[in-house]
Structure 1
Amino acid sequence: MSAFLATFLIPAFAATPHAACLGEDLLAGFAPERVAAIEDAAAVGPYPEGRLFRATRAGAEVTLVGTLHLPDPRFAPLEERLAPILAGASALLVEAGPDEEAQLKARMGQPGSPMFSTGPTLPERLPEVEWMHLAAELTARGIPPFLGAKMEPWFLSTMLAVSPCQLQELNRGEEGLDARLIASAEAQGIAVRALEPWDTIFRLFGEMTDEEEITGLRVALLQAGQADDMTYTLTELYFQGRIRLIWEIGAELARELAPEVGLSAAEVDAQLAEADELLLVGRNRDWIDPIEAAATEGPVLVAVGALHLVGRDGVLAMLEARGWAISRLD
């Protein structure tokens, strides 16, 4: 899988920076016919819109909320809506729970951490002008260039997709919806369960070739200056409930930049399909059995990245195919 898509897809799971971090709406710069084509693509398939759903089957009940992983004050009404649902749940299911986060932190401090490369450093792999550009972007995000030089290119691609201001908010300890739900569940003694192992994303990105990783990093550098605008645009769509449109805008921007890194439209479409399978569809498929098993113990709340819920291969459609009745709550 190529890191080429990371620059466009990672912000889909982040929240917009607020206050001093505001960006601009990228859609406003698109021609009306281009916007219409993207919206038409997003409308194909079930459940293209919505953040909060309920699935029921034979007396079992699952509430599903699509989340973003960085802080935003506009979550407050949704948190209020979720409070009684969480209080009545037998478990909260998330992508990564406290145990998985602890495993990740412990692994990061060990030799051979999955975010660090054992091969040549990036100054050795990139032309000097690209390395200097990368070093400047890393510095703006609080990552020392000497440390970034040893990191995996795919990991840096995801870092460049997040604006410097957003990273400052995280460093101040501000939390996204997932973390706030986890904290609330733990305070109430409600079980928190992870839907996948802590190293899932590392394994998926680890399947890339060196060439794919460097290509992805170059695209990330091309887009790094627009991180605020990208995230602002995608997050506005999130709070409007237009979730599938987030993917389609990312795909459109990927196609737009493809020629600058020597990729054809066909190659980009192939990579988009592969990224969809690896980052979303395959993981969705793996989550269905754990969700159904948890629901046999009582009502459960599932909180996962919003893009996992929507579309023909989303969690909602997969549950519906197994006989669950789906209703939208927002």
Structure 2
Amino acid sequence: MALLPCLLAGCGAPAPGTQARPAMWLVEDSDTHIYVLGTMHALPEGTDWDQGKVAAAIDAADELVMELSPQELAAAGRIFQALAPRTQPLSMEKRLPPDALAQYRALEASGGDFGGDALDDWAVMVLMGQRVTQNAELASSEGVESVLTAKFAGADKPIAGLETAKMQLTLFETLDPQTQRALLTRAAEGTGRAVQDVRALTASWARGDVAALEKVINEDVDAVPAARKAILTDRNRRWSAWVHTRMEAPGTVLMAVGAGHLVGPDGVPAMLGAEGLAVTRVQ
């Protein structure tokens, strides 16, 4: 499937006007409340997700914490350009089997040359995910993080990030060559149905259907175990450690991260619950 880039980027495509009710958890003790919201970074105009309990969490929160702060997100393009090039070009014909190559070329033709021969495998995969997002007519300006950033900035509330852009992209850059090639091949093989798959993925997000989201993640990432560890499990463990530390100080926080990080036994809520914190699904 070509969903891994979208799971990591949190892209999705519910119909405009969809009444989305994404999953949200509350981690709390006597004086600290951390709402944990699963996000989609890109959505169509008119997606209604910030009502009801999410609206109440936004109003109650003293601060917003996302994967990347607005400053780090703005730096991501520059850092990608620095990390993405290969030392020596390698044609896509030498990287992909014929069927996968044909699907890759079809996706490329839908919006212009990726310049993939000059890029690392992981970088080509990221560009493929962005192209699927464009073809599904999604916009990052309509995504959950963009809307939350505007709301918290407008209310003069602080906004922070769990990672830097360099940290995120280096996760891909440092994957071993075999893992990168497996991810690229798998993504290319699924490009023909990628837009349809993204829509199904986001319908699950909009329903708050964590079982369906977990199924998608398992199908896509378990085929490449090294990727699961580096891109999902290890990061979730670090974010869980951040929550533990933040629980030592009073206040209310909205933590908004890609929905793929919040489901299954190695998702952040499950990790926190297993470590003894009080975790409740509130939407």
The TM-score bracket by the shorter chain reads 0.7 to 0.9
1:20-99 map, 5 Å: 51-72=23-44, 75-79=47-51, 81-99=53-71
Instruction: For 1:320 and 1:127, locate their aligned partners in 2 and report how far apart those are by CA, in whole Å.
Output: 42
Q: Which has the higher helix share?
A: 1
- Secondary structure of the residue aligned to 1:94 is strand
Higher-Rg structure is 1
For 1:286, the aligned partner's letter is R
**Structure 1 unaligned regions, length at least 5:** 20-49, 256-267
Question: What's the CA shift for 1:76?
Answer: 1.5
Hey, what does 1:200 align to over in structure 2? 167
Residue 93 of structure 2 is aligned to residue 121 of structure 1: no
Hey, what does 1:138 align to over in structure 2? 108
Measured against aligned partners, the alpha-carbon deviations of 1:161-212 in whole angstroms (never above 9, x if no partner) come to: 4564635745x66421111111211111111110112123322222333343
Instruction: For 2:43 and 2:143, locate their aligned partners in 1 and report how far apart those are by CA, in whole Å.
Output: 4
- Secondary structure of the residue aligned to 1:195 is strand
- Secondary structure of the residue aligned to 1:120 is coil
Measured against aligned partners, the alpha-carbon deviations of 1:89-125 in whole angstroms (never above 9, x if no partner) come to: 221110011121122233345xxx1122222232573
Pick closer, same or farther for the CA change 1:126–1:195 going to 2, 3 Å. Answer: closer
Pick closer, same or farther for the CA change 1:233–1:169 going to 2, 3 Å. Answer: closer
Instruction: For 1:127 and 1:239, locate their aligned partners in 2 and report how far apart those are by CA, in whole Å.
Output: 34
Is the Cα–Cα contact under 8 Å of residues 133 and 221 in structure 1 kept in the other structure?
A: yes
- TM-score normalised by L of structure 2: 0.82
For 1:309, the aligned partner's letter is L
Alignment length, in residue pairs? 275
Pick closer, same or farther for the CA change 1:245–1:14 going to 2, 3 Å. Answer: same
Measured against aligned partners, the alpha-carbon deviations of 1:131-189 in whole angstroms (never above 9, x if no partner) come to: 6653442231x3424x333222222224334564635745x664211111112111111
1:203-222 map, 5 Å: 203-222=170-189
For 2:251, the aligned partner's letter is G
Q: Give the aligned CA root-mean-square deviation in angstroms.
A: 3.1
Residue 119 of structure 2 is aligned to residue 151 of structure 1: yes
Is the Cα–Cα contact under 8 Å of residues 64 and 303 in structure 1 kept in the other structure?
A: yes
Q: 2:233 aligns with which of 281, 286, 290?
A: 281
- TM-score normalised by L of structure 1: 0.72
**Structure 2 unaligned regions, length at least 5:** 17-21
Hey, what does 1:39 align to over in structure 2? none
For 1:290, the aligned partner's letter is W
Matched residues, percent identical?
A: 24
Is the Cα–Cα contact under 8 Å of residues 125 and 184 in structure 2 kept in the other structure?
A: yes
Measured against aligned partners, the alpha-carbon deviations of 1:62-101 in whole angstroms (never above 9, x if no partner) come to: 1111111111457414345433322322211100111211
